[in-house]
């Protein structure tokens, strides 16, 4: 390692990038031939006092003095995920209309970062009242508490029956992916963030002629430097996503809190070193 | 009409565009609020001696002197369809690998126009030996005579098990759309041209993390001026697609020939005014 | 005219577009073969109770009910000019650094619309204290009251000696264009808005290896529909640019006020029909 | 070094890239904070039997078996230079018109690689008859043997008085840069490749309203993998650029030949290890 020395304060990216392979050279770190999504996936994650980071030179980012480190924890994973997979892939534009299906942490991360591009409408769809309240606080222009046909009807009403320019799928089940197909306008984009376990129906019999695009992406964290600049300059406050804090030795409580998010209203939980 | 006068020789676009509506202003003529795909769809088509063209000022193109008019018939519909829906949406690049699933006329139109961008591999997949022969003559670097898992295996063998950067769907059934999902490389694009009658399975359980895009499009014919320039300068010879000619009063024979394409080896058929 | 009827309230674009010619079809309305910058240039402008608008069908925009019409006057010319020539050509990005050289109305229009893209730094350079104050109110992160080498030094200090990702020239004289060359970072863009009367020096002996781009543009007003949406949804308030109002019969006072902008602090002046 | 082992056959890029710094991460290897244009510039070059390559892991490319190594020597520098600075920056498109000012090796490299995108017109301008002959053999659609106003007149005649969509400057003096300004069409691009020693005049008094872009670039060699694929698949034959060969111990003759290019008709000279 040549880029960092002992004592440096760093941001750890959830994606390890070698900087050398074909994919890293294309900015597709998620598919790094010797890296990618390793931490917390193929090896243990970073909930520890000391961790070894693969390809550290090209997978850590120096934290500038005076930056709020809690906010930066959101930059390891959730914020670039919402931004790259949802907002960038979804090509959110000034004046455009955006719907985010799912107000969990990653949906809210998309909500926060979509505002970089000043869309006119930012509609969040979910069934959880608390999360929709959070969405409103975080900048949603409207919220829809419904699913399926009812969600579709409400969304179309809010968009003069045109649907949205960008539909961001932030749940990961067939029903929400189908909803995205029903609410995307002709010429629009469905940007999938959700981690899906099963296949979904794609209604090509309707969509073949609608000039739409559907995108998928495992976060590359290629935008981490850009996001760091937006945090430092106050364009975004990712700390809004933090609802709870626990010491490392209370980590089981932390997991318990997160697993009961509907009750605890947990979004993101910070684990502090002892 | 102000742009044309009696006796002018013109190219008729299959898509009518008003030039005024929101969609026309965005270059999405296919969704023109008072035009779009009208000819041969919601009104009669152009197989006649005289036709009225809706929004003629903005839906006709003057034919430069000395241009081969037979070649230009291919520019009304099939060439922009293969180019816009397949090649442009598929972002074909120099050195890239492309697979075209389906060697019918529209697949071959994609094959011809993909060569504008000098991909390294242009693999055509079909079951019809004659069409695959045509594909080779038209510039395919390789052909695959197979379907389903066998087609997938052969395609992966031809691409060092990576799959292709661009998979162009030019058939319009669930099986070929599934094949495209199996042969698209991580980071690649599936560009749908096919007109689908039923839904298809989308394997998000695999593709969610593969950084792919899927695009659909009804041809906008917004590239007609560009295609005219490529024909005039000899960068492409669309006449290759013409296999048969009939006089207008033998039009039933023409339809018969076209409907038995497997036997007659018909690609595109020219109907000549009497 | 088919798109509008007597009594409709409309926004008049400063650029007339036929919707039919090669340039209009490419979205380059400024070079419309029978339109372009006609009003107030090759024919009289619109400071009158009744005006004839060339190519009205494709050069007027309906005003939605409940929209503030004063704000929309800014959308005829100044706002699309700052946005298209400065912000879009300058490819302003989230987290990026932007300098605007010149805090006149068009520079301030660039300042307002640059914020659609959440740059980290928006530095405005001018010599007029009042205009710099206005710039701060309108969202400038920093201001520099200097010219030439002094302006360069201050700008470099504010950007860790890197210069800015986007330098927007909003004056139109050789000195300010040279300043842009000195403050643009490697890999950056100089977006010219200024109307220049004489040539300028281009320091290719330095810039040839700096991977920069320089853009020029006569506003196309192709973004008017997008800007309308940002105004309606409150993403921008162009009324900020209006400092004075006069009745039509006091128009000479209006011109007098505007011509003494340094004293009157005039930015944009509204002329009201009697 | 981890990516290569003794005996591997490799392509040496003229630009050294660390793969870690901000610029390398953006694909702007030319500005690598610890690399960039080092070889033959700030340290000795590679005309030797053994050389040490800075940042070798990320600055060498493996040569696939069976590839013509002479052709690949052209990929170290000249081909990516013509391609990145001229063709990519110039956004050459199918059906477009391109002028290349200067038929030296780098202009011819632009000529070869511009054909990846199938422009309709590829006009080469120079005063050297031999080089214009080479240009014709390499794919120029037309050649112009003239300078200044005469070159301008001929070029405009060849383009229906519109000028070209892309003007590539491949000389590096004020006169040729001025010529590019006179022949670029409204909406077009001037892509500078030339290494300039002095400033040039920029005619903003004319160009401010012409919607043009001017780009500069030190080659990044970020397209080397793409170019390798085009060579391997036969889309381009860079060996055409090689006119002479010398053994290493005759290197002075090689330099002599190259320095008298007008007489020797030298384009690129290969130095072979003894
Ligand atoms: Zn890697
Ligand atoms: Zn229309
Ligand atoms: Zn026009
Ligand atoms: Zn570097």
Q: Check CB contact under 8 Å for B28 and A187.
A: yes
- Which residue among A94, A121, A235 sits closest to C226, beta carbon to beta carbon? A94
The pLDDT of residue A18? 95
Ligand 1 centroid vs A219 CA: distance in angstroms?
14
Chain B residues in contact with D94 by the CB 8 A cut-off are 116-117, 226, 229-230, 235
Q: For residues B50 and B42, what is the distance between their CA atoms, to the nearest angstrom?
A: 18
pLDDT at C20: 93
Cα dihedral across residues A11, A12, A17, A18: positive or negative: positive
Residue C47 has pLDDT above 90, yes or no: no
Distance separating alpha carbons of residues D96 and D119, to the nearest angstrom: 5
Sign of the torsion formed by the C-alpha atoms of B167, B169, B175 and B178: positive
Task: Classify residue A64 by its DSSP letter.
Answer: P
- Provide the number of CB pairs (under 8 Å) joining chain B to chain C: 24
Instruction: Locate the chain C residue with the closest alpha carbon to A228.
Output: C95
Mean pLDDT in chain A? 95
CA angle C136, C142, C148 (to 5 degrees): 115
Per-residue pLDDT tens over the stretch A82-137: 999 999 999 999 999 999 999 999 999 999 999 999 999 999 999 999 999 999 99
Measured from the alpha carbon of residue D28, the closest ligand is 4
φ, ψ for residue C45 (rounded to 5)? -90, -150
User: Residue C57 and residue C16: Cα distance in Å, rounded?
Assistant: 10
- Distance, in Å, from the CA atom of D180 to the CA atom of D175, rounded to the nearest integer, reads 9
pLDDT per residue over A228-239, tens digit each? Answer: 999 999 999 999
Q: What is the CATH number that goes with domain D90-215?
A: 3.40.50.720
- Phi, psi for residue A126 in degrees, rounded to 5: -165, 175
Inform me whether the pLDDT recorded for D274 exceeds 80. no
> Can you tell me the distance from the alpha carbon of D224 to that of A25, in angstroms, rounded to the nearest whole number?
11
Q: What is the pLDDT of residue A2?
A: 81
CATH of domain B10-77+221-272: 3.90.180.10
Has residue C160 got a pLDDT over 80?
Answer: yes
Per-residue pLDDT at D92 exceeds 80: yes
Ligand 2 centroid, distance to B37 Cα (angstroms): 11
Contact A209, A224 (CB under 8 A): no
H or E segment to which residue B130 belongs: helix B129-137
Summarize pLDDT for C81-98 with one digit per residue, the tens: 999 999 999 999 999 999
Furthest-apart CA atoms within chain D: distance in Å: 58
Cα–Cα distance measured from residue D19 to residue D27, given in angstroms and rounded to the nearest whole number: 9
Nearest to D93 by CA among C63, B153, B87: B87
Instruction: Say whether A230 and C118 touch across the interface (CB within 8 A).
Output: yes
C-alpha gyration radius of chain A: 19
Mean pLDDT, residues A223-227 taken together: 97
- To 10 degrees, the CA torsion angle through C86, C91, C94, C96? -80
Taking the alpha carbons at both ends of chain C, their separation in whole angstroms is 27
Q: Does B26 touch chain A (CB under 8 A)?
A: yes
D152-210 pLDDT, tens digit per residue, is 999 999 999 999 999 999 999 999 999 999 999 999 999 999 999 999 999 999 999 99
- Confidence check: pLDDT of D35 > 70: yes
DSSP per residue over chain C, as a string?
Answer: --S--TT--EEEPSSB--SSSHHHHTT-GGG-TT-BS-BTTTB--S-SSS---TTGGGTEEEPPTT--HHHHHTTTTHHHIIIIIIIITTT--TT-EEEEE--SHHHHHHHHHHGGG--SEEEEEES-HHHHHHHHHTT-SEEEE--HHHHHHHHHHHTTTS-EEEEEE-S-SHHHHHHHHHHEEEEEEEEE-S--SS-EEE-HHHHTTS--EEE------TTHHHHHHHHHTTS--GGGGEEEEEEGGGHHHHHHHHHTHHHH--SEEEEEP-
Per-residue pLDDT of chain B (274 residues; tens, 9 = 90+): 788 999 999 999 999 999 999 999 999 999 999 999 999 899 888 888 889 999 999 999 999 888 889 999 999 999 999 999 999 999 999 999 999 999 999 999 999 999 999 999 999 999 999 999 999 999 999 999 999 999 999 999 999 999 999 999 999 999 999 999 999 999 999 999 999 999 999 999 999 999 999 999 999 999 999 999 999 999 999 999 999 999 999 999 999 999 999 899 999 999 988 6
Q: Hey, where are the domains in chain D?
A: 10-78+221-272, 90-215
pLDDT of residue B274: 67
Structure tokens at B118: 């000098």
Nearest by CB: C20 against B22, B58, B222? B58
Name the CATH superfamily, with its identifier, for domain A10-78+221-272. Answer: Medium-chain alcohol dehydrogenases, catalytic domain (3.90.180.10)
* Tokens found for residue B102: 């389906």
Cross-chain CB nearest to B120 (options D93, D95, D232): D232
DSSP D82: I
Note whether D3 contacts A: Cβ–Cβ < 8 A: yes
Could you give the percent of chain D with pLDDT greater than 70? Answer: 100
Give the CB-side neighbour count of residue D17, counting CA atoms within 13 A: 27
Q: What percent of chain C lies above the pLDDT cut of 90?
A: 90
Distance of CA D156 to the CA centre of its chain: 25
Contacts of D23 (CB under 8 A, 6+ apart): C186, C187, D29, D30, D31, D32, D33
């Amino acid at each position: 390692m040549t880029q960092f020395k002992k004592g440096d304060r760093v941001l750890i990216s959830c994606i390890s990038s070698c900087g050398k392979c074909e994919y890293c050279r294309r900015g597709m770190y998620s598919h790094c031939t010797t890296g990618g999504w390793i931490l917390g996936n193929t090896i243990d994650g970073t909930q520890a006092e000391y961790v070894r980071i693969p390809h550290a030179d090209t997978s850590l980012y120096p934290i500038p003095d005076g930056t709020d480190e809690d906010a930066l924890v959101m930059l390891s994973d959730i914020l670039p995920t919402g931004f790259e997979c949802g907002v960038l892939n979804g090509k959110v534009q000034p004046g455009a209309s955006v719907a985010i299906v799912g107000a969990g942490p990653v949906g809210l991360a998309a909500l926060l970062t979509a505002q970089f591009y000043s869309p006119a409408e930012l509609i969040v769809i979910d069934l959880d009242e608390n999360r929709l309240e959070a969405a409103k606080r975080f900048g949603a222009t409207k919220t829809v508490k419904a699913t399926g046909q009812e969600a579709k009807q409400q969304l179309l009403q809010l968009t003069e029956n045109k649907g949205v320019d960008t539909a961001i799928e932030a749940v990961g089940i067939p029903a929400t992916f189908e909803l995205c197909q029903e609410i995307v306008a002709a010429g629009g984009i469905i940007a999938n963030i959700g981690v899906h376990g099963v296949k979904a129906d794609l209604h090509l019999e309707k969509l073949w002629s609608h000039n739409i695009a559907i995108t998928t992406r495992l976060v590359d964290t290629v935008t981490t430097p850009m996001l760091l600049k937006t945090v430092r300059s106050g364009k975004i406050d990712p700390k809004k996503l933090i609802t709870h804090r626990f010491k490392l030795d209370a980590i089981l409580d932390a997991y318990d809190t997160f697993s009961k998010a509907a009750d605890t209203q947990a979004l993101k939980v910070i684990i502090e070193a002892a």
